[in-house]
Amino acid sequence: MPPTAAEAPDILSPQFAADPYSSYRVLREDFPLLWHEATGSYILSRYEDVERAFRDEVFTTRNYDWQLEPVHGRTLVQMSGREHAAHRALVAPAFRGRMLEEKFLPVIEQNARDLIEPLRGAGSADIVEDFATHFPINVIVDMLGLDKSEHPRFHDWYTAIVAYFGNLAQDPEITEAGHRTRDELAAYMIPVIRERRENPGDDLLSALCTAEVDGTAMTDEDIKAFISILFAAGGETTDKAISSLVGNLLRNPGQLAAVREDRELIAQALAETLRFTPPVHMIIRETDDDVELSGGTIPAGSTVDCLIGAANRDASRFADPDSFDIFRDDLPARSAFSAAARHLAFALGRHFCVGALLAKTEVEVGVGQLLDAMPELTLEKDCTLVERGLFTRGLESLPVRFAPGG
């Protein structure tokens, strides 16, 4: 058995919560395969091992049977083989190509304008509270053709789902809130899904209701589960990516100036943000067989915590990994939003994030409009930026000042 958490940084400790990056370095160098007694799992921190866990089919997603299904229902991320391929083919067209560019890009642009316009004359804002936490959820609600006035409920639901997903300490209140959310979301969505089947419109929910690939269609429960995970994964990660990207640029004024001058660099800034401060720091897998890795052997049937936040700062893969640099030549933006990405923020292999291009589009639009509306953008004087989270991680707040009337 590898070393235990008693001899190494503890992922559940306050010290780790405050600054996981210094702990990641210790884990990579001294404890690349760590048995964590409190969670009953093995921890991987080196790039080569986490990459393998995402690509090699000996690492399964059966963990989602207990980690996700109790709140979502059975989702795409739990499936494998033909079932996974068929269901991915049903949903993927909505998040790429013509449907994304022609149908959903205008929705994204309008939602960004709606949130940013009231901020133009203020001269100050909190990018997290005033924009990032609302923007991706509003976009998803509009894409689905749902009632945007219900935004607070959707926001509460996805917050509870994300908390359940990362509840390694097994807090009973978080568990209860997750189960309550499952029931509330089902009670809301199932009647809407059935109505949309009867009267389909020009929206994502209607497309899901009518989609069919090789004789396979999505059931009401399939659609409800997909929407549940779309709110959680699509909302939480894009929210944190936007605020982290802006925060990283504000702490690197020269790079912010370059992005202002050339908005094509937003994609590079996002790619580097996904590496440097990824919205998702950990993904879990389970092993089908014994697996030999750089730090030792993981037995069959084990739960494995794959530390994306650690792997993305592995010096064996990235030069000067603890520096934010949108111009680095070891992270090409042209492949950063595909299954060929070098960062691991979207996972890899057959479970590569189906919404990667949607997230890229939202971030490019949102950050571009923020820069247009906020000339002379700087951090609020004397503010200290604080990150929160274990599974997902991002800025607690991002107070800024700018020249009003941009």
pLDDT band at 190 (very low <50, low <70, confident <90, very high): very high
On whether the pTM is more than 0.85, the answer is yes
Q: Is 402:377 a contact under the CB 8 Å cutoff?
A: yes
Share of the chain above pLDDT 70, in %: 94
Instruction: Give me the pLDDT at residue 3, please.
Output: 62
Q: Is 161:228 a contact under the CB 8 Å cutoff?
A: yes
User: What whole-number distance in Å separates Cα of residue 355 and Cα of residue 282?
Assistant: 18
- Residue 205: name the closest of 151, 150, 145 by CA: 145
Share of the chain above pLDDT 90, in %: 61
Instruction: Give me the pLDDT at residue 84, please.
Output: 64
pLDDT band at 79 (very low <50, low <70, confident <90, very high): low
pLDDT band at 4 (very low <50, low <70, confident <90, very high): low
Q: What is the mean pLDDT of the chain?
A: 89
Q: Does the pLDDT value for residue 363 go beyond 90?
A: yes
Q: Which residues partner with 396 through β-bridges?
A: none
**153-157, 330-334, 376-380: least confident range:** 153-157
User: What whole-number distance in Å separates Cα of residue 172 and Cα of residue 234?
Assistant: 25
- The dihedrals phi and psi of 34, each to the nearest 5 degrees, come to -125, 130
- The dihedrals phi and psi of 114, each to the nearest 5 degrees, come to -60, -35
Amino acid at 209: C
Instruction: Give me the pLDDT at residue 178, please.
Output: 86
pLDDT in tens, 80-119: 677 767 667 777 777 777 778 888 899 999 999 999 999 9
pLDDT in tens, 209-235: 888 877 778 889 888 988 888 887 788
SS3 at position 100? helix
Tokens 């590569």, residue located? 352
| Burial (0-12, 13-18, 19+ Cβ within 10 Å), 288 | middle
- Residue 377: name the closest of 259, 264, 276 by CA: 259
pLDDT in tens, 246-302: 999 999 999 999 999 999 999 999 999 999 999 999 999 999 999 999 989 999 999
| Burial (0-12, 13-18, 19+ Cβ within 10 Å), 285 | buried
Question: Which residues lie closer than 8 Å to 269 by C-beta, 6 or more apart?
Answer: 245, 248, 249, 255, 259, 326, 367
Q: How many CB atoms lie within 10 A of CB 229?
A: 21
